[in-house]
Chains A and B, each alone.
Chain A
């Protein structure tokens, strides 16, 4: 089984499915979306993050680093070419400004960490959400975790980018899920390649298969589209997606309002950020444009 790194297990989430939920964030993703709102989840390998705001300037890390990879003069503080990810600096850091991103947890450890909130799932109608990153990169692990949770009566939900092997998914995960939030970002294949680094052919195929196979079963599939200014929120893209969904009998989908806070997180792990320092990619979405996007779906008969 391929052991994933987990970014974090976040309790008390009210945005990742119904009720009060705990969300298990996986590290690593087959897509590389330019606007990824969890940039620290893109790579499957461990990373060193630096949060300048938390740093108290004590220099304990400089003394601890055997590679001399840290320098206050350097933009971003860390020379990532030199850094060997030994994390001695993070251990020495009193404030948590330097931190290891991604840690190994056994399936049982992860299950224990979420099970402490089970009473809250039960009263609220919540449960556990697997998110990321992309959980389906680690199907055996994810499947084992889901089975363990289902066995304890926990309701489960997967948030996925949709790029996975359907046969294996069926085998390992599908039957342990109550809900699937399935992202469709761009309908145009070329655009999809350009902005996410991969084709959308398999993603769309998977979605249609899933819609067909889960129809009439207890598993519900909710297609979701993140609204990214000028990229996914165009009339053309949204009406294309809405048209496809409507043609396959989808009556409910979700549009996710753009959240610009990811830029800061990208900087902390030294991830690429091609969008500069200003412009619409740094603004929250206005109510008017959100309404416009919703109307496109509504016209296709899809509730959002």
Chain B
């Protein structure tokens, strides 16, 4: 009987199976026979033992390769115990993979032609081992792919258009003057600081050049030191075999790491300390996303998008000593092991429905910098010690407080090491001016290692050192800096008060501009370690360290001050993608002079800052029950999302949610088309006669959406548990209000305010699609639902008239149509109410945002045609921006977006507007037009707006001739990126955005 079944299974197999087995046999033979390869199978702790299955959905291919005790063998069936199985959609996909370039392979994964069942770490290890055989070929393929694309671009645009690149550069020489009207501006005669340009700051120019030309390198420091410590002291249990309390384990490991890591004062910098041991480095967080680059250890330096250098030593370190140790000790695999590869995780790993950021990090928050500036580490430790003395502390509280002390000791040790380093560097420095600076820096570091800051220089250094220290604990993704203009202003003022001569004061203001420039440049010394797939998922995104300027004080007074304008000057001169600059404007409180300057900087840099309306944000946050004084102290985080500074763990980028997937599932009775997966509940089939009214269909849509939301939150809760165990963050907790008193880590709800925020992708596309169904099917009866659905399934091929009808005869969101706005409000309200009612594991609520990072591109790639007439694979609109065809009149867009009820947008929005300055207009007129749009939008109640001031023609020129545009920043949806580092799909999406001449 058994034999019969086996032969039956065997007979199903195809010729492709024979090919696959042959290939696996070659792989096995290579590893068995060649010692130079075989050595990679033995890591520091022993042989790497695992089995990888390969099959097709139909079973036409089914075999496995087993790595055990240094021997590799090929199996004719896939054993139960296999760590991971690669499942191909069909034989064709197997064949495609064999000839695919690395980019093709990524698209195969994204498009579900290939899916992975089981342990991602072992998949990555398997691909690493394959790359040992093939990486040279892969590198050649990637180079060829790049050449091909370069050639085709040059064909369409052989010569650079210097009038276009010149126009961008010429904006830098235009200068407006500003009146001193803001009450908080005490010392700047002209707050626009028109007398300075980058030419006045040679060091900043040099830093900028380094930033734009040095390739980041994978930094081995953190994984090396942490793994070393853990091998000695244990992970799950300590040396005596007792289970570790995770937070104490973290505290001890962190302190050791901070004591051991290299103190560096970057050449020429006015700030001591670096986030990595390299000039520009990528931090490897081993318990987070670190192991995701295992497969790329050989190829990462040659990949097309965001290549990183990696040294031979680092590669060996990561493969032999680090990744095997963390292969099960990371968020994803911890959840998979504990919950048995749950459905909610499987959905996430198909890329097309939602993406949970928590598998990498929670970090989207803003620490209480004013507190450490005020108390120093000594005062902070003193406060914690006092709390420790309370008689009624439970065990968890005692451990948490102890861990906070340990991490603060780590920070202190690092600052002291920096002081020593600066003194040593000073001794070796030949330039007397620099020697003086280094000696001065040594003094600053020695002081702020324990004490409160007294001057602007000390404050900037203490913020920077703390910033570095926080990144040594949480991932460099979305951790944000907050209201630095507010927090540094008192130091600026007290320094200025000690200067008497006009000349000294002028020199000091220039120094402040330079210091802020150094701070911004220091923030560029690290880059998140992105696996290649992330270049398609979050293309060009950097660490997204948001600094937020302006707005009002916690008392509601105008907060714009000298430092606000000093930050704007540095922003204008440097044009960096990151720190991600954001600015608050409070209509009726902040001045037009300030708003006009924001627009001028936006025009000169082409893309930054992003602008927010305080009034709309307050309206969104007040129903959350937050104290109004804390609401007034909000600041953008990661992209645009609100965090109440120093008191709030808002994990504001918990996930990216593809709302279009829910719509597609509603159109297919719960089946998700791309993955061909019946996931959601049965809600009816438009091809039948199941929907009698539009409301019935809307109901089906929300049921599918609820299904996806529920699964994503399940996953969020599981990952939250993983964070509590694998990555408590006691240092961050010591700087978030509430944690010390409660004695709880932020991962366990220690903060005063708790929430998690989602980013919902596809609002305009879903609104327009639902409008098409409502109007054409149910109200006007112009088309039967079954016919519309069939056209959508066929990507409108063969029905151009229906395509024209949906594109031209349906009022869209952004066209100035009341019904479309009502539809958008209905959707956002539903999402807000549904998310808001789900119990949150830390207390607090789930919040809803409508911005998209770059997911509108990738989720668009992974979605079929829509009833709105958007064709299969095309990008959605960025953020909640209306479709380019909604209206020729930008004001219709602006008005409609402003009419969305802010209450439902409590994790903010991203509204993109591409404006194109007219060559015949003066700088002043262009700025004035931009100002008029933003100011009116805010007065109408709009929440956020971001402008790209660049033409499609310029972007096309930049695609073909990137060398002329290396610092051209563009706003994607919430964050900035250098245009030339984006993948092709994203570049085209930006080019195709609606463009409004101003």
Contacts and interface: CB of A to CB of B under 8 A. Distances in A.
Interface of A: 10-12, 14, 19-20, 54, 56-58, 60, 94-96, 116-117, 119-120, 122-124, 126
Most buried by B among A10, A11, A12, A117: A12
B215 interface: no
Contacts of B162: none
A124 B801 contact: no
Given A10-B889, A20-B929, A126-B932, 16 more contacts: A12-B890, A12-B891, A12-B996, A14-B929, A20-B891, A56-B804, A58-B800, A94-B804, A94-B805, A116-B816, A117-B891, A119-B939, A119-B940, A122-B936, A123-B935, A124-B936
B804 A95 contact: yes
A120 B801 contact: no
Interface in B925-981: 928-929, 931-933, 935-936, 939-940
A58 B816 contact: no
Contact of B808 (A12, A20, A95, A126): A95
12 contacts: A10-B889, A14-B918, A14-B998, A20-B933, A56-B804, A94-B802, A94-B805, A95-B807, A96-B804, A96-B808, A117-B891, A119-B936
Interface of B: 800-805, 807-809, 816, 888-892, 895, 918, 928-929, 931-933, 935-936, 939-940, 996-998
B804 A124 contact: no
Nearest to B894: A120
A119 B933 CA distance: 10
Contacts of A10: 888-889
A57 B800 contact: yes
Chain A, interface SS category: loop
Contacts of B939: 119, 123
B787 to A, nearest CB: 13
Nearest to B895: A116
A124 B932 contact: yes
A10 B891 CA distance: 10
Which 9 pairs across A and B sit closest by C-beta, in order of nearness?
A124-B932, A58-B801, A95-B804, A94-B805, A56-B800, A94-B804, A11-B889, A123-B935, A123-B936
B936 A56 contact: no
Contacts of B807: 95
Nearest to A10: B889
Contacts of B801: 56, 58, 60, 94-95
Given A116-B816, A116-B895, A124 B805 contact: no
A285 to B, nearest CB: 12
A94 B809 contact: yes
A94 B808 CA distance: 7
A163 B997 CA distance: 32
A56 B891 contact: no
Most buried by B among A10, A119, A126: A119
Nearest to B996: A12
Chain B, interface SS category: helix
Given A14-B998, A96-B808, A123 B890 contact: no
A124 B929 contact: yes
Given A12-B891, A95-B808, A123-B936, A56 B803 contact: yes
Given A12-B996, A56-B800, A94-B809, A124 B928 contact: yes
B897 to A, nearest CB: 14
Nearest to B898: A119
B796 to A, nearest CB: 11
A123 B587 CA distance: 12
A119 B937 CA distance: 9
Most buried by A among B803, B931, B932: B932
B749 to A, nearest CB: 43
A58 B804 contact: yes
Contact of B889 (A12, A56, A95): A12
Nearest to B887: A11
Contacts of B800: 56-58
A120 B934 CA distance: 10
Nearest to B806: A94
Nearest to B920: A257
Contacts of A124: 928-929, 932, 936
A95 B805 CA distance: 6
Nearest to A59: B801
A38 B996 CA distance: 21
A135 to B, nearest CB: 21
A19 B998 CA distance: 10
Contacts of A116: 816, 895
Nearest to B939: A119
Contact of A20 (B802, B804, B809, B932): B932
B932 A123 contact: yes
A120 B935 CA distance: 9
Nearest to A9: B889
Contacts of B891: 11-12, 20, 117, 120
A194 B884 CA distance: 43
Contacts of B996: 12
Contacts of A95: 801, 804-805, 807-808
Most buried by A among B801, B890, B892: B801
A96 B806 CA distance: 11
Contacts of A120: 891, 932-933, 936
Most buried by B among A54, A117, A123, A124: A123
B603 to A, nearest CB: 15
B932 A19 contact: yes
Nearest to B802: A94
B869 to A, nearest CB: 11
A124 B809 CA distance: 33
A213 B805 CA distance: 53
A10 B801 CA distance: 28
Nearest to A126: B932
B701 to A, nearest CB: 25
Contacts of B935: 123
B37 to A, nearest CB: 59
B546 to A, nearest CB: 27
A7 to B, nearest CB: 14
Contacts of A20: 891, 929, 932-933
Contacts of B808: 94-96
Nearest to A113: B816
Contacts of B932: 19-20, 120, 123-124, 126
Contacts of A58: 800-801, 804
Given A94-B809, A119-B940, A11 B892 contact: yes
A24 to B, nearest CB: 14
Nearest to B809: A94
Nearest to A122: B936
B820 to A, nearest CB: 15
Contacts of B805: 94-95
A196 to B, nearest CB: 27
A30 to B, nearest CB: 29
Contacts of B998: 14
Contacts of B931: 123
Nearest to A124: B932
A52 to B, nearest CB: 14
B865 to A, nearest CB: 16
